[in-house]
Amino acid sequence: MLRQELDRERQRRMELEQKVQEVLKARAEEPPAQQPPKGQAQVNNGADRRSQGLCPRVQKWFYEKFGEYVEDFRFQPEESTVETEEPLSARRLTENMRRLKRGAKPVTSFVKNLSALSDWYSVYTSAIAFTVYMNAVWHGWAIPMFLFLAILRLSLNYLIARGWRIQWSIVPEVSEVVEPPKEDLTVSEKFQLVLDVAQKAQNLFGKMADILEKIKNLFMWVQPEITQKLYIALWAAFLASCFFPYRLVGLAVGLYAGIKLFVIDFIFKRCPRLRAKYDTPYIIWKSLPTDPQLKERSSTAVSRRPQTASSRSYVSSAPAGLSKDEDASRVHGAKKSNFHEIFNLTENERPLAVCESGWRCCLINRDRKMPTDYIRNGVLYVTENYLCFESSKSGFSKRNKVIKLVDITDIQKYKVLSVLPGSGMGIAVSTPSTQKPLVFGAMVHRDEAFETIFSQYMKITAAAASGGDS
């Protein structure tokens, strides 16, 4: 076996050697390859060099022309920027309030002019606008008319920006006196400023929340009888858009909008009873509830249920012949009975009926320098002869304030800055014993308190004057 394998290996080697010799003989017999002349070789080398130099030039030209656009399409990770919050500043707050008023002025002026057209504030202007609008809708020119008005408004704004004095408003604009910003505000003025802004922000956010909650409840079937009307109206509009031409649908909608704005709304605003009966959009909007109203309804519904065992035990524990309301009023009655003791007054001095519970406020005494002395939280009362402030800190009777109405030299509504909307939330009272007026600020019912205090002050001063004359 070993010999056979060795013989086979020898045969294979011999065959390989024969093949190698045949290949070498075949190569030796081939004629030599013709070499190109020297001129042709130089031409070929020049072409190669030109092709190698042309590609970088094309790439460079392409990058110069379109490199900026190519870089824009590169995907990059999004950078998260953290905005730095500015510290609270009275000067910055005043500036932002003025910016807000200036920014909202075009919108408010547009709403005022539209309302003036609907109210026929200027009969000739409203008649011309009604005629032009109805004619444009009838001939299908409503969209070109609105576009032309936008172009006209931009043109007038351009002329106004160039220095022309042009007034295009139905309602005359009243220029407000802008008070220059105060450089240095006292701590009390800053405190009152923050309170005024907080009240305006609270009212603004409350109105916005009411609008959004009403829209949400309309679409969420909170009151099915109201949402059903919207559902039917949407189906009617959908079927009309499917079966009627758009020109006819647009004509109907445009005519209805014009009659609604110029005629129906004018009648409804002059006749509130008709509006409460027949103005369907107004009725639907007024009847839509907000979330606090829904919570109040649910709480009243729960309170109307039969009394539980705990309520029965409460009634059984109460003294015989004493109702729940009487028991709840005992605490208030006790506080009223101790009123003259709190302020060291005679027993006949009691809070007036209007302010039995008092008005929550803060007393700002600008004659004091320490913050703990000139800002006090508490409740303000008015009696027949005195103005009484009770500090919220129990046990500090020295912090209470009693002012005779006869000793008051001046009383007026107080507001820190005129740039803020409204008339403020404070009452300033001047007395001979104070260099600067005492300010009762942060009063939610400021107008009611001012009318009560001022009327009682005038009554006492008139009585004192008549007694002195006699």
Q: DSSP for 290-314? A: PHHHHHHHHHHHHHTSPP-HHHHHH
Question: Model confidence over 208-263: pLDDT tens digits?
Answer: 999 999 999 999 998 899 999 999 999 999 999 999 998 899 999 999 999 999 99
For range 189-198, the mean pLDDT = 72
Question: Model confidence over 151-174: pLDDT tens digits?
Answer: 998 998 899 889 888 877 776 665
Q: Are 355 and 449 in contact (CB under 8 A)?
A: yes
Order of strands, sheet of 359-364, starting from the edge strand that comes earlier in the sequence: 401-404, 386-391, 375-382, 359-364, 438-441, 426-430, 410-414
Residue 293 in tokens: 């109203």
Q: Are 200 and 422 in contact (CB under 8 A)?
A: yes
Per-residue confidence (pLDDT) for residue 33, from 0 to 100: 52
Q: Are 118 and 262 in contact (CB under 8 A)?
A: yes
Considering only 183-197, 291-305, 394-408, 444-458, which range has the smallest mean pLDDT? Answer: 183-197
Considering only 98-112, 180-194, 281-295, 420-434, which range has the smallest mean pLDDT? Answer: 180-194
Strand pairing class (359-364; 426-430): unpaired
pLDDT score of 393 more than 80 = no
Considering only 90-104, 284-298, 428-442, 451-465, which range has the smallest mean pLDDT? Answer: 90-104
d(CA 293, CA 295): 5
DSSP state of 362: E
Q: What element of type H or E holds 429?
A: strand 426-430
Most confident segment among 16-30, 82-96, 338-352: 338-352
What is the architecture of the domain spanning 340-467? Roll (2.30)
Q: What rounded mean pLDDT belongs to the chain?
A: 78
Q: What element of type H or E holds 403?
A: strand 401-404
pLDDT score of 146 more than 90 = yes
Q: Are 407 and 375 in contact (CB under 8 A)?
A: no
Per-residue confidence (pLDDT) for residue 322, from 0 to 100: 40
Of 432 and 313, more confident: 432
Tokens 């510290």 sit on residue: 87
Of 300 and 112, more confident: 112
In this structure, the number of other CB atoms found within 10 A of the CB of residue 421 comes to 15
Q: Delimit the domains of the chain by residue range.
A: 94-162+196-294, 340-467
Per-residue confidence (pLDDT) for residue 321, from 0 to 100: 43
Of 15 and 233, more confident: 233
For range 366-386, the mean pLDDT = 77
For range 295-320, the mean pLDDT = 56
Strand pairing class (426-430; 410-414): antiparallel
Q: Are 378 and 362 in contact (CB under 8 A)?
A: yes
Q: Give the model's confidence band at 1: pLDDT under 50 very low, under 70 low, under 90 confident, else very high.
A: low
Most confident segment among 182-191, 199-208, 231-240: 231-240
Percent of the chain residues topping a pLDDT of 90: 24
Per-residue confidence (pLDDT) for residue 310, from 0 to 100: 44
Per-residue confidence (pLDDT) for residue 29, from 0 to 100: 66
pTM of the model: 0.55
| Cβ within 8 Å of residue 164, ≥6 positions away | none
pLDDT score of 362 more than 80 = yes
Residue 440 in tokens: 């009762």
d(CA 280, CA 274): 11
| Cβ within 8 Å of residue 33, ≥6 positions away | none
Question: Model confidence over 114-143: pLDDT tens digits?
Answer: 999 999 988 999 999 999 999 999 999 999
